[in-house]
Amino acid sequence: MSRSSSSYSIGVDLGGTQIKAGLVLSTGEVVDSLSKPSQANDGASIVSGNIASVIHQLIRTNSHLLLEDLVGIGIGTPGLIIPDRGIVHFSPNFDGWHDIPLVDLVRQKLDAQLTHLPIHIENDGNAMAYGELRQGAGVGMKDVICLTLGTGVGGGIILDGQIFHGSRYVGAELGHTTIFGDGRLCGCGNYGCLEAYVGRDQIVERTRAKIIKSASCSPILEAQMDSLTPKIIAEAAAKGDELAIEIFTETARYIGIALTSFAHILNPQMAIIGGGVSSAGEKLLFEPIRAEVRKRAMDTNAESLQIVSAKLGNQAGLVGAAMLAQQNQPS
Amino acid sequence: MSRSSSSYSIGVDLGGTQIKAGLVLSTGEVVDSLSKPSQANDGASIVSGNIASVIHQLIRTNSHLLLEDLVGIGIGTPGLIIPDRGIVHFSPNFDGWHDIPLVDLVRQKLDAQLTHLPIHIENDGNAMAYGELRQGAGVGMKDVICLTLGTGVGGGIILDGQIFHGSRYVGAELGHTTIFGDGRLCGCGNYGCLEAYVGRDQIVERTRAKIIKSASCSPILEAQMDSLTPKIIAEAAAKGDELAIEIFTETARYIGIALTSFAHILNPQMAIIGGGVSSAGEKLLFEPIRAEVRKRAMDTNAESLQIVSAKLGNQAGLVGAAMLAQQNQPS
């Protein structure tokens, strides 16, 4: 896979509100990026037109790059994606989408000079994991899991350098691994999923419940009781607020319980943790996660597993999608 | 992989007390099998001599089969096995074994006419899963997990038709998936593993605890309080003993919780459940397991997953090891 350093691809991160797209060199460098509303409720034709439009705009404003060096387009988006068929089977963000042939639709909207390009589509959690593997925290690794701590808890699994999909493309739902079989009802219908404890709203809810129940007071958090976010809680913890520290200690423990299962089932080399909540950082989050896994997991499984912070931030999906388009290109 | 139906291999199931070996046709038929004490405490040279000895004996007593049709030897054994290097890195059944080059040792003990044969070595849980895939409940499947409910809870994962090992050969420890993060201490050091609830001794222990605590009486089980086994409990349940039924309802629920995590993480086509405890059967075990997974797992993940009984019984490991030796043979 040695390639001309001038070759590049376009990565698209298609969300329910925004389309983010970037022009990404084979070195992983994001040369330029821009975003545009996705107009999720206006149908697949409009959405794919918007995708084509950002692609055209990126190419126009970067005319110093040769079109012949553009090797392909990658699209990452939430939902049940069937990459081999270029289809969005189901999406939580696009109401009524069912078996939408997004790759074909986008191709139809592209300028004639671009229609020959391969277009890859992938689930966004998988794209993020692939981005981190190729250009982020996982460079040099082959077997990696990726957790994204946001509104929900996203996941991706890389085995032997390739995205793992499962038999019907719904594997790697790592946020829906059970950590307490009799635990909280999760949005997915299961009980005690990791997401039911460490999703953004669940962290806030746990904090509120603790403030109400707690004998100790937490003036910083109480003052912001109605506008709490994981970020505010992390900042309070950094200032020494005991209740906030306790929330992150628990959060780390929950993640450590899930990582132990992943270590025993998948025995990956690395767990990459990203998403907004992960910015709580080493001391509040990563160190106690590692301690929990060391306490719980069998020795070889624990020793195999590096637990690290994601590196690409909210560009992981875009970079991953772009890298998919550069995979297996002739050098 | 179309092969001469006359070709065959030898599968060896190396345990702490017994070596079982069988002569297995490419159709999966076990033509002949025999066993011999393994002499686990007498060192790797004696053990490998015993393995060679059963192989020689099998060949001698089946002289109607042509030696030129024998394509290889497979060995399945518990522990951390490194198949590519032919090594037992660690074994729970062979004290002091560390990085034992078992494949080479066995080869050295073989008759000259056999030393050219490929010898494969594999973890026994993986070998069982592969046996069920190739000749048992999983025929025609590509993505399968296998649970063996015995003294411990063994596991194997097949992805895309191949055994999944993990980065350091300690993946597929499915019995050590957490189902209750604050649950019972498991032998592995983790808390709330599946095995800590449905291992043979744990089922017995749960039953005893329930008899002691229970207001309702269970004359069948109380009479055998000191000699309880999962089999006795299953028989009592089949006769309508309510406490015994409750034990299996719980056992099925625990397994269903773990299978839901596997469905979400791995999205396999099939979960094959074998081992002594699984003989409790459809009504007591499999139906409630399926109900639990339907209740918990996300729709596509649940729909993807057939949950079935293993077919090869205690020959799964032997057949799987033999089939490994027939994998990728020229036709």
**Residue B121 counted as domain residue:** yes
**Domain identity same for A36 and A178:** no
> Which chain A positions have a beta carbon within 8 Å of B78's beta carbon?
none
**Of B261, B178, B275, B216, residue with least CA distance to A295:** B178
Q: Which of B141, B158, B186, B190 to mutate to test the interface with A (most CBs of A within 10 A)?
A: B190
**Which of A172, A295, A300 minimises the CB distance to B170?**
A300
Closest residue on chain B to A293 (Cα): B190
Strand partners, A287: none
**pLDDT one-digit tens code per residue, A67-97:** 999 999 999 999 999 999 999 999 988 989 9
B298 and A257 in contact by Cβ < 8 A? no
**Domain identity same for B123 and B189:** no
Alpha-carbon distance B124 to B130, whole Å?
10
Lookup result for tokens 């990563």: A286
**Domain identity same for B205 and B302:** yes
A–B interface: beta-carbon pairs under 8 A? 149
Residue ranges making up the domain that contains A254: 137-310
**pLDDT one-digit tens code per residue, A119-156:** 999 999 999 999 999 999 999 999 999 999 999 999 99
pLDDT band at A328 (very low <50, low <70, confident <90, very high): low
Q: What is the distance in angstroms between the CA of the first residue and the CA of the last residue of chain B?
A: 6
> Which chain A positions have a beta carbon within 8 Å of B159's beta carbon?
159, 164
Write the single-letter amino acid at B278: S
- Which CATH number goes with the domain that contains B294? 3.30.420.40
**Residue B196 counted as domain residue:** yes
**Domain identity same for B183 and B228:** yes
**Domain identity same for B82 and B145:** no
Which residue pairs from B64-67 have beta carbons closer than 8 angstroms and sit at least 24 positions apart in sequence?
B65/B6, B65/B8, B65/B23, B65/B31, B66/B6, B67/B113
Give the count of alpha carbons within 13 A of B7, CB side only.
Answer: 16
**Residue B2 counted as domain residue:** no
B167 and A269 in contact by Cβ < 8 A? yes
**Which of B80, B181, B265 minimises the CB distance to A173?**
B265
A254 to chain B, closest Cα gap in Å: 8
> Which chain A positions have a beta carbon within 8 Å of B192's beta carbon?
181
B174 and A265 in contact by Cβ < 8 A? yes
- B60 contacts: CB under 8 Å, gap ≥ 6: none
Q: Is the pLDDT of residue B326 over 70?
A: yes
Alpha-carbon distance A217 to B220, whole Å?
56
**pLDDT one-digit tens code per residue, B281-312:** 999 999 999 999 999 999 999 999 999 999 99
Predicted pLDDT at A216 = 67
**Domain identity same for A95 and A145:** no
**Residue A129 counted as domain residue:** no
**Residue B1 counted as domain residue:** no
B261 and A178 in contact by Cβ < 8 A? yes
- The answer to whether the CB of B307 falls within 8 A of the CB of B271 is yes
Alpha-carbon distance A28 to A322, whole Å?
9
**Domain identity same for A195 and A113:** no
A110 to chain B, closest Cα gap in Å: 33
Joined tokens for residue A309: 């912070």
**Residue A292 counted as domain residue:** yes
**pLDDT one-digit tens code per residue, B151-202:** 999 999 999 999 999 999 999 999 999 999 999 999 999 999 999 999 999 9
Domain count, chain A: 2
**Of A157, A98, A97, residue with least CA distance to A123:** A157
**Domain identity same for A159 and A100:** no
**Residue A2 counted as domain residue:** no
A262 and B265 in contact by Cβ < 8 A? yes
ipTM of the complex: 0.95
**Domain identity same for A176 and A115:** no
**Residue A130 counted as domain residue:** no
**Domain identity same for B155 and B301:** yes
- The answer to whether the CB of A75 falls within 8 A of the CB of A106 is yes
pLDDT band at A262 (very low <50, low <70, confident <90, very high): very high
Predicted pLDDT at A131 = 98
Separation in Å, CA A313 to CA A100, A209, A307:
29, 30, 16
**Domain identity same for A89 and A196:** no
> Which chain A positions have a beta carbon within 8 Å of B188's beta carbon?
298
**Domain identity same for A213 and A118:** no
